[in-house]
């Protein structure tokens, strides 16, 4: 049975995270204090035992010049003795339903191991972000420049990313959690991570694309094996999107993964 977490199951989520990922308690304390929320946590229960879970962390993401709400999936895990039963897949499908109900058109995640690429591909995710080769701006240097005011440091940090397209935007609370985590590990150099995306509301994303590229005209027929709402034909013309309208001269046929990669460039 799938349910949201509550105050009685919070410790179960902590214990599961500890078992599966083995992170140190001081890191987990930062994560659970800043990011964990009951209404963003799904559990798969066998009786009174939580055997699989995931967190749906809310962020803003800049897509085609517009900030949209996204879910970043974190802590997707199943206890070792309960694997192979499809529990994580069921939790992912439930997260798709929740994203749609909350008017969130896109889900992102960062797979921690190579084999997970194939697992998430089966759920309609595709790699859309390459791992970085250059270090990101140093948080330690930033904090030293603004040693008296964390919010001022955040303002400079935010100015580096706020107007970059295809970028997850961070709030001040997100930044504060980043600083605490980085300090815990001695401010190691950071690079962009390889990431995957799953489109929940294709028409909304196509509308944003069409608005940014009003001279673009084409039609696309899309197949989405899991989210039938995305399986349709769309015509993009003069900054507008029409579902099942008259096809443009140029017609493409894509599955949801390929179209997602093209939309993300």
Residue 106 carries which DSSP code? Answer: E
At residue 188, φ and ψ (nearest 5 deg) are -70, 155
**Bridge partners, residue 253, by sequence:** 221
Residue percentage of the chain with pLDDT more than 70:
100
Q: Is 187 left (phi over 0), alpha (psi -120 to 50) or beta?
A: left
pLDDT of residue 247: 87
For residues 36 and 10, what is the distance between their CA atoms, to the nearest angstrom? Answer: 9
Neighbours of 18 (CB within 10 A): 13
pLDDT tens digit string along 154-199? 999 999 999 999 999 999 999 999 999 999 999 999 888 899 999 9
The pLDDT assigned to 245 comes to: 84
The tens digit of pLDDT for each residue in 30-45 reads 999 999 999 999 999 9
Determine the length of the chain. 265
Identify any residues that bridge with 213 across adjacent strands, giving them in sequence order.
Answer: none
Q: CATH assignment of 201-263, given 3.30.1050.10, 3.10.520.10, 3.90.480.10, 2.60.40.1120?
A: 3.30.1050.10
Query: What pLDDT does residue 131 have?
Result: 85
Q: What is the pLDDT of residue 111?
A: 93
Q: pLDDT at residue 46 above 90? A: yes
How would residue 15 be classed by pLDDT, with cut points 50, 70 and 90? very high
pLDDT at 200 over 90: yes
pLDDT at 222: 98
Average pLDDT over residues 13-40: 96
At residue 228, the pLDDT reads 96
Counting DSSP H helices and E strands in the chain, the numbers are 9, 12
Which CATH superfamily hosts domain 2-104? Gcn5-related N-acetyltransferase (GNAT) (3.40.630.30)
pLDDT of residue 8: 94
| pLDDT computed for residue 129 by the predictor | 93
Mean pLDDT over the full length of the chain: 95
CA distance 117 to 104: 23
Q: What is the pLDDT of residue 207?
A: 98
Query: Which of the four pLDDT bands, split at 50, 70 and 90, describes residue 248?
Result: confident
Residue 132, pLDDT above cutoff 90: no
Rounded to 5 degrees, φ, ψ at 56 are -110, 90
| Burial class of residue 130 (count of CB atoms within 10 Å of its CB; 0-12, 13-18, 19+) | exposed
Contact 65, 87 (CB under 8 A): no
User: pTM score, two decimals?
Assistant: 0.96
pLDDT of 216 > 90? The answer is yes
- Alpha-carbon distance values, 263 to 116, 138, 168, 199 (Å): 22, 30, 16, 10
At residue 140 the predicted structure's pLDDT band, cuts being 50, 70 and 90, is very high
Q: Which residues contact 99 (CB under 8 A, 6 or more apart)?
A: 56, 71, 105, 106, 107, 200
Instruction: Write down the domain spans for the chain.
Output: 2-104, 139-192, 201-263
Tell me if residue 44 falls in helix, strand or coil: strand
H-helix segments, the chain: 10-21, 25-34, 87-101, 116-121, 139-145, 150-161, 172-184, 202-212, 256-263
């Amino acid at each position: 049975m799938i349910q949201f977490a509550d105050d009685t199951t919070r410790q179960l989520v902590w214990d599961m995270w500890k078992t599966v990922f083995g992170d140190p308690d001081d890191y987990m304390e930062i994560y659970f204090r800043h990011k964990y929320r009951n209404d963003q946590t799904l559990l798969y229960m066998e009786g009174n035992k939580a055997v699989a879970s995931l967190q749906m962390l809310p962020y803003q993401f800049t897509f085609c010049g517009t900030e949209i709400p996204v879910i970043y999936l974190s802590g997707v895990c199943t206890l070792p003795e309960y694997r192979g039963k499809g529990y994580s897949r069921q939790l992912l499908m439930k997260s798709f339903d929740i994203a749609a109900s909350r008017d969130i058109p896109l889900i992102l995640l960062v797979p921690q191991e190579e084999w997970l690429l194939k697992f998430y591909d089966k759920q309609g995710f595709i790699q859309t972000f390459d791992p970085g080769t250059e270090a990101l701006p140093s948080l330690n240097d930033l904090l030293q420049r603004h040693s008296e005011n964390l919010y001022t440091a955040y303002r400079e940090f935010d100015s580096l990313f706020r107007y970059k397209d295809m970028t997850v935007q961070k709030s001040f609370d997100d930044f504060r959690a980043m600083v605490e985590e980085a300090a815990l590990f001695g401010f190691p150099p950071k690079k962009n991570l390889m990431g995957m995306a799953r489109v929940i509301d294709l028409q909304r994303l196509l509308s944003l694309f069409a608005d940014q590229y009003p001279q673009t005209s084409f039609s696309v027929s899309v197949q989405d094996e899991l989210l039938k709402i995305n399986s349709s034909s769309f015509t993009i013309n003069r900054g507008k999107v029409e579902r099942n309208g008259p096809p443009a001269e140029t017609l493409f046929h894509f599955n949801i993964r390929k179209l997602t990669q093209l939309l993300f460039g």
